[in-house]
Amino acid sequence: MNKTALTVRGLVSRREHAVILDRIDLAFDTGQVTAIVGPNGAGKTTLLRHLAGLDAPAAGRVELRGEPLASLAPALRALSIAYLPQAASAYWPLRAQDLVALGRLPHGANLSRPLRTQDAQAIQRALERVDGTGLAHRPIDTMSQGERARMMMARALATEAAIFLADEPVASLDPAYALESMSILRAEAARGACVIVVLHDLGLAARFADRIVVLANRKVAADGPPAVALAAGVIEAAYGVTFRHVTVDGVPQPVAWEKQR
């Protein structure tokens, strides 16, 4: 049975004097992939940063399993929440496997000493899941942007947290690895994790998410399964674009067609 992992209650977010998110109420369950979509500037990354405990809301709060996230020790948050930021990368000559090992720091791994068996196994599992074992000894600064993106995902996976937050994890990936990355996130949900991912690709959101939250005009414009959240009229109003709606293998696929006048 799925349980609520994160709850957002009356969240208000401001940047300088501008309101970015206004009185947001949401709950996110374990065992599900939730995609957060919406036009540029809708507050998708801002919401994810609040869910990770990186930003404090102007009003309202985020709860982790019923406890205020802001009141929890950083070490406990790091154990519970894996966060993959947008365009995450590293530009120093660190080997990929050492970068992935950073995901074990919340578990007490000491990277200046030989790794414990459980840490080494978690790192190996994470590399295998992103098809990265062949890159393990490569310096991260010699890799392509897509290869780096895969290693950053592996670092988050190595944490083996109960909550996985990812901000545009497929933005720099080719179609094959984009599909693989979304399949990885689905597998995380299948193991019982609460997976929340910001996406611009509505087709991927429709195909891989159990639930889609549409943000627009500082509010939740829609919230539900793909067929509901991406329904004709809903996303047109959110994006200001006319969509053509097709169904492929039972999955709704909205295709942006033209800008509304």
Q: Are 133 and 127 in contact (CB under 8 A)?
A: yes
* Residue 248 Cα to chain centre, angstroms: 25
* Residue 88 reports pLDDT greater than 70: no
Q: Which CATH architecture has domain 4-259?
A: 3-Layer(aba) Sandwich (3.40)
Query: What does the domain layout of the chain look like in residue ranges?
Result: 4-259
* Per-residue pLDDT at 89 exceeds 70: no
Nearest-angstrom CA–CA distance, 44 and 82:
17
Over residues 19-37, mean pLDDT: 95
Give per-residue pLDDT as tens, 242-255: 888 888 888 888 88
Per-residue buried b or exposed e for 57-80, using 16+ beta carbons within 10 Å of the residue's own CB:
beebbbbbeeeebeebeeeebbbb
Q: Averaged over 187-203, what is the pLDDT? A: 95
* φ and ψ of 157, to 5 deg: -65, -35
Q: In one letter, which amino acid is 61? A: R
Place of tokens 């154990």: 79
Give the dihedral of Cα atoms 66, 69, 74, 80; nearest 10 deg.
Answer: 50
Task: With a cut of 80, say whether residue 68 has pLDDT above it.
Answer: yes
What are phi and psi for residue 244, nearest 5 degrees?
-100, 130
d(CA 30, CA 193): 5
